[in-house]
Chain A
Amino acid sequence: MKCQHCDKQAVFHITELEEGGVRELHLCEDHARSYLNQSEPEPASAEEAEEGGGGALAGPLGVGQTADELAILDQRACDMCGITFFEFRNQGRLGCPHDYVQFEKELEPLIANIHGATEHTGRRPSRAAPLPEGTEDLTRVIGLRREMKEAIALEDYEKARENRDAIRELEDRWIAAAPPSRETEKTSE
């Protein structure tokens, strides 16, 4: 593939993540360097300054990756929701909470570029023990549900039942006990 700005081979494949979607850039080394080194470009219009970080703050992704490496990365899929990295690059939207774990290494430079930080310092949930702070455990439900549907389609009802029970167990642990149910409220009235 040729560089977008000259006849040299494109060796840098950059995905700019923007609020309205994504923009792909294919650049040779020289053009990539000048692109990445340019100081914050001034947005030409309010359009680029939309909520959520416009072009000026959007970050390079996969810098230094060759086309081959990028192609392999693009094929990787989330174990829970099944979204591929390619789909994320195209839509600019992640598929489920587990993507932040599955694609952590790839997302890190992107997030660093958008926010100038890679660590949350704000409010945190206060959950009753023994539930952990992070919800990765509960997010497994997404994958279990997907597998259950596949098992039903294959008429593997044993597997479907196992998944259903695993989902119930997770939901019971994380959700069922949490809210005062309306029935309880009624009886207390």
Chain B
Amino acid sequence: MDRGGSAVPRNGEDIRMKLESLTQSIGEWLRGTGPESDIVMSSRVRLARNVAHYPFVSRATEQDRADIERFLRERIATVPVGKGLEYIDVGHLEEIDRQFLVERQLISREHADAQGARSVAIDRMEQVSLMINEEDHLRIQCMHSGLDLKGAWEQIKVVDDQIEKVVPYAFHPRWGYLTACPTNVGTGIRVSVMLHLPALVITRQIDKVFRSLHKISLAVRGLYGEGSQAMGDFYQISNQTTLGRTEEELVEQVGDVVPVLIDYERRAREFLVRETQQNVHDQVSRAFGILRTAQTISAEETMQLLSRVRMGVLLGLIGDVKIADINSLLVRTQPAHLQKLRGVELDTNDRNIERARYLRQHFEGNEAGRAN
């Protein structure tokens, strides 16, 4: 094995173009299509895998990491799923570009902040992404719009099977697939759905829902918020255990609870309309008003207001706004997306001003479009 030099080709002009084109599209999980997409934003399955003959990432030397990166990239290139992948050398990206990939959910915050040789491979649809040298050597992720866990599982199974033909994944007959952290050992699977639950938040039922989810070993976290308060009423529900049950059982465990949550949220929305229609109408109209007129606005406030407007559109309280549009604004008003769209780096204050301008222009554009 050639051990010299950098294992990953530096990001060239083509990667810059790739990032540019990503900026212009909105990505699979924001398409706003798929079953139950009024409440379920996206369904995701990820698998944690490691190569058997290298130390885990946190114990690997710089040379090991470069070798692992190259080994995986070269092997994966020989199987059909590997052919349609675009690699981005995360280790040599600017901070803003790494942040951009995090906002898009193509890499994790940990992967963005890590050290050493690491990369991400993304398919054209932005459904499949492979993170190399995150906490584990390989993290395969598959994301579908709306509620489609089975579809995401079927797709990731194909990707995993093909890669396993050419990569000796660390496996133990008793413990299953071996991972850097024992919390992922066994199947290495994390099944999650991202839900928009504004009515459960407004009616203060959300904590009760979360407590019952914990009792059945499901984890809840916010969108982007690594442990922080969920922004804009978006929550990710996922399995906590990975050993002792089959992948299908774990997919079902998460899948079974989603219809119940959808039902709670729908009932809470109906309750709001029935009992407090004027109040709710007032809240969403004010949120819409601020988004269309503000002169400076933070990313957090934007998320919160877009969340309320999204609910307003779905309740028929705001007309002429498409859900896919709101979804796309959710990601395009994030700091790195905003700066890439504007083509300049901005500090927080200037970003807030630029974000408000972007929102005003967006909604004005929509109105002008309708008037014509």
Proximity bits, B206-250, A CB within 8 Å = 1, else 0: 000011001101011110011111100000101011111111000
A70 to B165 alpha-carbon distance, docked (Å): 41
A93 to B181 alpha-carbon distance, docked (Å): 5
Is B274 in contact with chain A by the CB < 8 A criterion? no
Once the chains bind, are B186 and A115 in contact (CB under 8 Å)?
Answer: yes
Q: Which of A77-130 contact B (CB under 8 A)?
A: 80-81, 83, 91-97, 100-101, 107, 110-111, 114-125
Interface size classification for chain B:
35 or more
Once the chains bind, are A136 and B172 in contact (CB under 8 Å)?
Answer: yes
A119 to B246 alpha-carbon distance, docked (Å): 11
Q: B79 — nearest CB in chain A belongs to which residue?
A: A179
For A92, give its contact among B181, B186, B211, B219 (CB under 8 Å). B181
Once the chains bind, are B183 and A17 in contact (CB under 8 Å)?
Answer: yes
Interface of A, helix, strand, loop or mixed by DSSP: loop
Once the chains bind, are B178 and A100 in contact (CB under 8 Å)?
Answer: yes
Once the chains bind, are B243 and A54 in contact (CB under 8 Å)?
Answer: no
Is B31 in contact with chain A by the CB < 8 A criterion? no
Q: B210 — nearest CB in chain A belongs to which residue?
A: A49
Once the chains bind, are A97 and B183 in contact (CB under 8 Å)?
Answer: no
Chain A residues with Cβ under 8 A from B75's Cβ? 179
Q: Which of B34-42, B49-57, B196-204, B286-294 forms contacts with chain A?
A: B49-57
Proximity bits, A20-61, B CB within 8 Å = 1, else 0: 100000000000000000001011011111111110110000
For B187, give its contact among A97, A122, A179 (CB under 8 Å). A122
Chain A residues with Cβ under 8 A from B370's Cβ? none
Once the chains bind, are B185 and A123 in contact (CB under 8 Å)?
Answer: no
Once the chains bind, are A178 and B166 in contact (CB under 8 Å)?
Answer: yes
Q: How many A-B residue pairs have CB under 8 A?
A: 196
Is B164 in contact with chain A by the CB < 8 A criterion? yes
Chain A residues with Cβ under 8 A from B245's Cβ? 117, 121-122
**A141-B53, A171-B53 known; A94-B181 Cβ under 8 A:** yes
Q: A52 — nearest CB in chain B belongs to which residue?
A: B183
For A19, give its contact among B166, B181, B187, B230 (CB under 8 Å). B181
For the complex formed, measure the closest distance between the CB of B102 and the CB atoms of chain A, giving whole angstroms: 15
For the complex formed, measure the closest distance between the CB of B233 and the CB atoms of chain A, giving whole angstroms: 13
How many residues does chain A have at the interface if contact means C-beta atoms less than 8 Å apart? 63
**A51-B190, A135-B171, A178-B165 known; A94-B77 Cβ under 8 A:** no
Once the chains bind, are A46 and B171 in contact (CB under 8 Å)?
Answer: no
Once the chains bind, are B180 and A93 in contact (CB under 8 Å)?
Answer: yes
Residues of A at the B interface (CB closer than 8 Å) are 17, 19-20, 40, 42-43, 45-54, 56-57, 80-81, 83, 91-97, 100-101, 107, 110-111, 114-125, 133-136, 138-139, 141-142, 170-171, 174-175, 178-182, 185
26 contacts between A and B (CB under 8 A): A17-B183, A46-B228, A51-B190, A52-B184, A53-B240, A56-B214, A81-B55, A93-B181, A94-B59, A94-B182, A96-B59, A100-B172, A100-B178, A101-B172, A107-B182, A111-B243, A118-B174, A120-B185, A121-B244, A124-B171, A134-B171, A142-B55, A174-B168, A179-B79, A181-B78, A185-B78
